[in-house]
């Protein structure tokens, strides 16, 4: 699914599911619509251009409503999202909506506090993080966006 196709279907979803519009403000102001659209469209293009092959395991740290992970699943990626946000409860309904347009089975998700979770074996996961690069191993440095495997910190 192309970014533009996804965005148009996303707008349809927002019109049909008002619970999402308190976070996604696309429909709130015609004056800011193009700016908000450009942000999402450019971000999704950037992610697609910088991801490894579709066999890679992806982790969407702080996946929120799962929008990015849903888009990637529709494009054949396997993504696990983690979140602590209240809107975790919206994800099943979103998956029902998006399943009409493609296979979303590649998106799994969990509600968890990563600081309370046991540390798994050395990761081979690519991290999708909006604010800093975080993975089960400590990263060498914070970054604004990561779509590359995180390098463990030197011990």
Collapsed DSSP state (helix, strand, coil) of residue 85: coil
The reported pTM is 0.78
CATH code of 73's domain: 3.40.50.150
- 38/122 Cα distance (integer angstroms): 36
145 in any annotated domain:
no
Q: What is the token pair recorded at 61?
A: 């740290």
pLDDT for residue 124: 53
Q: Domain for residue 153, yes or no?
A: no
- Kindly state whether residue 110 falls inside one of the protein's structural domains: yes
Q: What is the pLDDT of residue 40?
A: 94
Domain presence at residue 134 = no
Residue 7 lies in a domain: yes
Q: What's the pLDDT tens digit per position in 24-79?
A: 888 888 898 999 999 999 999 999 999 878 888 898 988 999 999 999 999 999 99
Decide if 136 is inside a domain: no
Q: Are 1 and 75 spatial neighbours (Cβ–Cβ below 8 Å)?
A: yes
Segment 105-134 shows an average pLDDT of 69
Distance of alpha carbon 35 from alpha carbon 92, whole angstroms = 29
**Average pLDDT rounded to a whole number, residues 5-24:** 93
- 100 φ/ψ sector (left φ>0, alpha ψ -120 to 50, else beta): alpha
143 within some domain: no
Range of the domain at 45: 3-129
Number of domains in the chain: 1
Per-residue pLDDT band at 98 (split at 50, 70, 90): very high
Q: What is the average pLDDT score of the chain?
A: 81
Q: What is the pLDDT of residue 126?
A: 60
The mean pLDDT of 111-134, rounded to a whole number, is: 62
Report yes or no on 66 lying in a domain.
Answer: yes
What digits encode the pLDDT tens for the residues 106-118? 999 999 888 887 7
In this prediction, residue 153 carries a pLDDT of 40
């Amino acid at each position: 699914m192309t970014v533009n196709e996804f965005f148009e279907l996303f707008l349809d979803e927002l019109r049909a599911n008002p619970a999402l519009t308190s976070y996604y403000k696309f429909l709130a102001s015609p004056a800011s619509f193009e700016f908000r659209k450009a942000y999402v469209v450019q971000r999704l293009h950037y992610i697609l251009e910088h991801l490894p092959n579709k066999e890679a395991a992806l982790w969407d740290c702080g996946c929120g409503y799962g929008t990015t992970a849903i888009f990637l699943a529709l494009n054949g990626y396997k993504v696990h999202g983690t979140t602590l946000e209240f809107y975790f409860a919206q994800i099943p309904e979103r998956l029902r909506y998006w399943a009409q347009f493609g296979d979303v089975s590649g998106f799994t998700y969990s509600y968890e506090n990563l600081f309370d979770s046991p540390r798994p074996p050395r990761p081979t996961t690519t991290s999708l993080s909006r604010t800093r690069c975080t993975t089960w191993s400590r990263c060498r440095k914070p970054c604004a966006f990561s779509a590359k495997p995180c390098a463990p910190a030197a011990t």
